[in-house]
Amino acid sequence: MKYRRLGKTELMVSEVGFGGEWLERHPEEHSVQLIRHAHEAGINIIDCWMADPKSRDIIGKAIADCRGEWYVQGHIGSTWQNGQYVRTRDMKYVRPAFEDLLQRIGGGYIDLGMIHYVDSQKDWDNCMNSEYIRYVHELHQKGVIRHIGLSTHNPRIARQAAESGFIEMILFSINPAFDMKPASENIDTLFENYDQPLSGIDPERAALYQLCEEKDVGITVMKGFFGGALLDEKKSPFGAAFTVPQLLHYSLTRPAVCSVLCGYDTPEQVDTAVSYETASDAERDYASVIASAPLHAYSGLCTYCGHCQPCPVHIDIAMVNKFYDLAASQETVSESVREHYLALETKASSCIGCRSCESRCPFGVQIADRMKKAAQLFEE
C-alpha cells in the first residue's frame, strides 16, 4: 500500500481507503472481520458518517486493538433520531450524537472531525454563524478532534472550505462523470438528464482541485464508483464500463487527492481495490475508456493520464501539465508550485518538439505547445 500526506494535517493516509456506509447491512462479526481484513491489506483511513449505533459499534470493535493505526473521519451533525438518520445543526441533537460517536469509536478522540454534508450556500452560512461551528472549534481546541474537515458534493462549497483557513481537508465526491457536471446544491438531480453527452471537466471542479493543491488542503474521495454505475456499461453515463483500478487512478491523479474511500461488502472487494497498487499502467488506464465512450465529447484537455509517455528526453509530461494548470489558474505563480516544478529532474524547456507524445494522447492535447508555455511561465 502507498500512503499520501493528507494536506496540512500531515497524516499519511492509504491511497485506498474504507467508506463504511455498507457495514450495517451485514452481521456484525462479518463487518468487523471486513475492516480487519482491510487493515491487514494496509488500509488505514475509514469514514463514519453513519449515525446508526450498529455501524459505529462495528467500527469501534474492529479497530479497538489498533486504534492508533487508524484515521477516522467522524461526522459532526449526523444524528440518529427515532431510529432514523437526520442531518442537522441543532445542538440538542448534534452534541449527544457526536458524544455517542466518540464513545462507540473509542480512544477518546476523532482524527478528522467532519463538518457534515454541506451542499447549499444557506447551510454553509448557517454552519459558519451558529453555535454549531463554535462547538466544532471547541472540540478542536480540546484535542477531541485532531483536525477539522468538511464533507460536500458541491465544488462551490468546497472552495469556500478550502479558503476558510481552518478547514484542513475535504471529503468530496469525485469520479469521471461527476467531474463533467456543473455545481449543484442537490446531488440527487445531478444526472437527471442521463442521455445528455458529457463534455469535458467542469471548470469549477478543475479550479477546486488546483486551489486545494495550492492551499495544501487534502482531499479524500467519496462516490468514486458512482454507486457502482460506472462499473456497469448499462448504467454508466458514458455508455461504457470502467474497472475499479481505472476509477481509483482517475481520482488519485486529481490534484490534492490523497485517498479514495471505497464501499465494501466482501473481502474480495477489498482485495480488488487494493490490487490497484500493483496494477500495470494498462490496467489503470481510464483515458481510453473516456476517449472511446459513445456518450462524451472531450478534447483538448489534459487529464494527467500518462498516455503521452515515454518522452525521449524523459520529461514527466503529466506532472508538468499538472503544475502548469495549477499555476495558470492563478494571477501569480505561487512559490510552492514553482518549487515543485523546479524540483522536476527534467524541465519543460528540454522539450525537442518531436510531438511523438501528441500521437498517443487520447484527447488531442497540443503537448509541445504546452511545454513551451510551461517553460515560459516557470523558467523565464
Residue 55 phi, psi (nearest 5): -60, -45
Identify the CATH homologous superfamily for domain 3-280.
Answer: NADP-dependent oxidoreductase domain (3.20.20.100)
List of residues 6+ apart from 113 with CB closer than 8 A = 74, 76, 136, 139, 140, 144, 145, 146, 147, 148, 149
Question: Which amino acid, residue 35?
Answer: I
Q: State how far the Cα of 232 lies from the Cα of 220, in Å rounded to an integer.
A: 24
- Per the CB < 8 A criterion, the answer to whether 216 and 228 are in contact is no
| pLDDT value for 194 | 46
Question: In a structure prediction context, what are the per-residue pLDDT tens digits for the chain, which is 380 residues long?
Answer: 999 999 999 999 999 999 988 898 899 999 999 999 999 999 999 999 999 999 999 999 999 999 999 999 999 999 999 998 999 999 999 999 999 999 999 999 999 999 999 999 999 999 999 999 999 999 999 999 999 999 999 999 999 999 999 999 999 999 998 888 777 777 766 665 545 555 668 888 989 999 999 999 999 999 999 888 899 888 888 888 999 999 999 999 999 999 999 999 999 999 999 999 999 999 999 988 888 777 665 566 777 878 898 999 999 998 898 888 877 766 778 777 788 788 888 999 999 999 999 888 877 889 999 999 999 999 88
The answer to whether the peptide bond before residue 155 is cis (omega within 30 degrees of 0) is no
For 203, 231, 300, 318, 343, the CA distances from 360, given in Å and listed in that order, are: 25, 25, 13, 13, 26
Going from N- to C-terminal start, the domains of the chain cover 3-280, 317-379
| pLDDT value for 329 | 64
Classified as helix, coil or strand, 196 is coil
Could you tell me which of 31, 130, 29, 10 has the C-alpha nearest to residue 77? Answer: 130
